[in-house]
Amino acid sequence: MIINKFGFRSNIKSVNLSGMGCSAGILSIYLAKDLLKVHKNSLALVLSMEAVTPNGYAGKKKSMLLPNILFRMGGAAILLSNRKQDKGMAKYKLEHLVQTHIGSDDEAYQSVFQKSDEDGVEGVSLSRALLNVATKALKTNISSLGPLVLPHSEQLRFAWSMIPVIDGIEQSLKLQKEDGEASRMTLHRFGNTSSSSIWYELCYLETKGRVKKGNKVWQIAFGSGFKCNTAVWRCISDVDPTKRNAWSDSINLYPIIDDEIPN
C-alpha cells in the first residue's frame, strides 16, 4: 500500500514484521541497521504502528478485557540513513542495540497471550505475573548490555505503557519519577500504541526540551513472547522543541499529577 501510494522504485526492499508485539519498533531498527550495512549510500524507512481491531475482545473475562481499554491506534515513521550528506540533518546516531527473549520460560511466554476464553471468545490475556516477567527480562537485557548501560544522569526511556510495569522498573533500577514521566504521559494522552509508543515518548522528551545535543537516550521496549529489546541513541544535533509534532496541541497540559492518572 505504501509503495503504491508514494510510487517507490521497483528495486525497493520491503519487509513486514507482524505479530512481534510492543517490541517490534526496536526489532525493526535491528533489521534496518543490518540492511544499511549491506546497502551503502541508502535510506531505510521504518513504519511502526498499532492496529487494535483484530484484537478486540467481546467476552466477559476480566484479564482479557483490559487490552480493550489500554491499546489505541497510533503510528510513527523513522528514517535512517548511512549517507554522509545526511549527517548534518540527523538528530540521533544509533550506538547500541540489545535483544532479549525469555520465551523458554512458560510463565513469561504466557504473560501476554492470545487465546480463547471459556466461552470460546478470542482475545489477549494479561497475567498477574507480567510485572515480574518484565523485570526479569529487563535485568537479563541489562546484563547483556553490560558496560554500555547508560549512567542515570542521562535520559532514560520506557516503552511498555502500563503504569504498574513502569512503577516496577523504576523501583528495580532505583530511578526517579521523572524518568518514567514520558511513558506515563504518553499512556494518558495516546493510550498504549504498542510498537510506536517509544517514539511518542521520545517526542514528549523532545517537546519538553529535555533532549540536548550530546545526551543519550535509552529506549526499552517490552513485547509478548516475552521480549525486551533496547536501543541506545546519542543526540548529535540541537532538537527544536517548538517544531510541530503529535504533542504540539497538548504539551502545555503535561505533566499531570499521579492522582489524575487512572491505575
| Residue 26: pLDDT over 80 | yes
In a domain, 263, yes or no: no
Centroid of chain to Cα 192: 10
β-pairing, 155-156 vs 122-126, is unpaired
Give the CATH number, domain containing residue 90: 3.40.47.10
* Predicted pLDDT at 116: 93
In a domain, 251, yes or no: no
> What digits encode the pLDDT tens for the residues 42-80?
999 999 887 776 778 999 998 899 888 888 888 999 999
- Residue 75 phi/psi, 5° resolution? -165, 155
- Number of folded domains in the chain? 1
Among residues 206, 214, 213, 217, the alpha carbon closest in space to that of 240 is found at 206
The stretch 180-207 carries a mean pLDDT of 91
Given a contact cutoff of 8 angstroms between Cβ atoms, the answer to whether 40 and 242 are in contact is: no
Indicate the pLDDT class of residue 118, thresholds 50, 70 and 90: very high
* Predicted pLDDT at 194: 86
In a domain, 119, yes or no: yes
The stretch 140-166 carries a mean pLDDT of 63
Indicate the pLDDT class of residue 22, thresholds 50, 70 and 90: confident
- List all residues 6 or more positions away from 172 whose beta carbon is below 8 Å from its beta carbon: 135, 138, 139
pTM for the predicted model, two decimal places: 0.87
Where does residue 65 fall: left (phi above 0), alpha (psi -120 to 50 degrees), or beta otherwise? alpha
* Predicted pLDDT at 76: 93
| Residue 88: pLDDT over 80 | yes
* Predicted pLDDT at 164: 58
- What is the chain's mean pLDDT, rounded? 85
Domain that holds residue 65: 1-246
The stretch 228-236 carries a mean pLDDT of 92
| Residue 156: pLDDT over 60 | no
In a domain, 255, yes or no: no
Share of the chain above pLDDT 90, in %: 45
Indicate the pLDDT class of residue 161, thresholds 50, 70 and 90: very low
| Residue 207: pLDDT over 80 | yes
Amino acid of residue 256: I
Between CA 102 and CA 140 the distance in angstroms is 9
Indicate the pLDDT class of residue 163, thresholds 50, 70 and 90: low
In a domain, 213, yes or no: yes
Indicate the pLDDT class of residue 117, thresholds 50, 70 and 90: very high
In a domain, 261, yes or no: no
Between CA 222 and CA 183 the distance in angstroms is 13
In a domain, 254, yes or no: no
Between CA 94 and CA 256 the distance in angstroms is 31
Among residues 172, 171, 167, 165, the alpha carbon closest in space to that of 258 is found at 167
The stretch 8-33 carries a mean pLDDT of 81
In a domain, 181, yes or no: yes
| Residue 120: pLDDT over 90 | yes
> What digits encode the pLDDT tens for the residues 125-148?
989 899 899 889 988 888 888 666
Indicate the pLDDT class of residue 151, thresholds 50, 70 and 90: low
